[in-house]
Chain A
Amino acid sequence: MNRLLLIGAMILFISGCSGFKDIDKRYFVVGIGVDRTENEQKPYRVTLKLGIPSAKIQPGATNKFELVSEDAASIQEAVRLIKSKVDKELDFGHAKIILFGKTLVSQSIREPLDWFLRRRDIQLIGLVAVGDPSAREILNTSPKSERLPANSLILSLAEEGTESSYIVTESLSDFHRRLTEKGKDPYMPVIRPRNNSYVINQAAVLDKERMVGILTPDQTRVFNELIRKHVQFEFKTVTPKLRYNIAVQNYRIKYKLLHLHSSEPTIQITIKIKGEVEESTAPLFQEDWNKLEELSEEQMRERFVKVLTYLQSKKVDPVGFGLRYRAMGYISEEDWEAWQTLYPRAKFDVRVHIKIIDTGVIK
């Protein structure tokens, strides 16, 4: 009796078993790019970077891939058209890199993003970025040192490999949060191709709909220091006498919203930095360190104020002052509307405290 039931169940299961598809019958999408076309009928150009697996892994030789593009009215349609072009099942499970073309981001990001969030197989830990000039061009690049298709992009964006203070990283999940959150605005790294490789040293800031500006590399670093708490960075201080660079191991940023009901609302930002001198044009050891610290603090302050006022002028708030405002208890709709007028006229009061720990190996 028991065994008959078991056999019956087995037959039932085998007949209903589906979803069995071997790894070699799948085409792994390692990167998705969405660009804007001129054609109004088919505004989206979807580019998929399909990885071609190789048995032995060698740098520069095994990062083979196939690039398939298609124009369509929606992303889903484009993907369907691409499916008819390839011989294996498309698998989006490894689509770690999601690129949006610069022109697309300058127009609207909300509509194309929906597909990525709705699909179950697009990972929320996927990394988003802006491709400049286009997403397709970035996907088409394959650096020499790469072992697997799109691997160098993953390594640099996920900070598994290089950790540079110029690279801001953004995951799909965080991007979605910032896109919907009241009081915290999205950003994305900008990737540009250069000689068969990439340069990632800029950040694009967005409002809730589209890109409003791109930061310069130097601004990007300051921006990165503001947004994240664990960046290692260095900065230079120029005085009439000498020039020296301080490398920062750890720093703390605190901000406070002050005088919210007065005519001059202030955002007070306190930055505490500990660092060591890594390069200098003249011996430093005998100098007055307090003086050096003061000089650096002044220059550091300017950098921060510049970026903050730039963001303010673009009416975006990637740092999350608005969310802090809400977290302080201003939760009603009226409060939120008040903030909309408050933020553009807020004053930034940046206070930097730098402590030089040592001057390196030499004096």
Chain B
Amino acid sequence: MRYLPLSDEDRAQMLAVIGAKSIDDLYVDVPREAVLKAPVALPAHQSEMEVERLMKPLASCNIPAGKTAFFLGAGAYRHHVPASVDHLIQRSEFLTTYTPYQPEIAQGTLQALYEFQTQVALLLDMEVANASMYDGSTGLHEAAMMASRVTKRSRVVLSGGVHPHYAETVRTACEAHGLEIVTLPAAIDDEAAVLRAMDANTAAVIVQSPNVFGTITDLKPIVAGANAAGALMIASFTEAMAFGLIEPPGAMGADIVVGEGQSIGNALNFGGPYVGLFATKEKYLRQSPGRLAGETVDADGKRGFVLTLSTREQHIRREKATSNICTNSGLCTLAWTIHMTLLGAEGLKRVATLNHENACDLADALAEVPGVEVLTPRFFNEFAIRLPKRADIVLDALMGKGIVGGVPFSRLNPREGLENVLLVCATETNTPEDLNAYAAALKDILQ
């Protein structure tokens, strides 16, 4: 019991001070029949060594991305994270502290959040950003609800390029809240359909760019259309690294920008924890969800930071809060901001360019394979290809050659009959050998 400091002697002494005969006396309010007489039927305590012996084999039955030629994106991205990031976030003072409710002894967390908010706002070219959401998908449902509060309307239109899991997350939470969610059919590029789908009760249109097929969309016409219809334009994304190279949504006039920040500072982690980035215009701030760090001064006039505008939040406003969210993604936020600080504008541009070049080279190489068509017209580091047969079958065959070749679109959305479409991603972590091996293997398989 290495984590429990009390000795039996301590326990006896403490019970005596309390005036209780046994620990059972302290559980008097528990209905007697509900008290377990013995430990539940699970294994007993084990040493570090024994636990490692159990956990390590579980880890080794998986094939980690780094052990293969790896081309998966579609919402999570494998990038190189500098060693110092993981070292710094494991410092006790960051790892084992709580929400900074006592700002006098939490300036480290608060200042890091303030820097994070600034970096997110600069990256997305938005006026303000919050201290993060759980992830991109839950941030998106919060954005949809926020748009409904701002516009006092209840219909939300989702482009067919929104990641299907994001669309399902939005539908699940928002329909319960009474919103009507209209998801357009899957489409590589559906600007016209989005514009057509707006009506007088539309609170927001949600367009993901780069979208799930990798397509980059010019958001300006959609912003214009949405604003003319009295709706907000919500720009969504799953690959934050893209904004090192492509025009950010804020520069195109988006009202809310929300997406996944995992690709900066955070490992793949089989889907979580990740970090949702959330930014908006100042005029909508009071309707926005999530924590905010703000600048102020202390009693001596020194600059410092506090959590602020918390009257929007559940612990004060209860059922009238802008969200039920009670945490942010603290440590993932810290990893993001440290990685971004290490990159700076120069590093970000360079790594983003490497991503794009690798993806372009891969697209060129795959397009050379007979029967393969690259579907995505404009992209950052991922794109869709159409294969002459089912993508899941091709993926299996590629696995046999040590290549994890992509995500079959039908895994994300089995309803659209796009069984032959494969979503492919290349990042700076892919070598030229990886790219060549992929094209050669695919050629082999399709012959």
Q: Is B a genuine binding partner of A? A: no
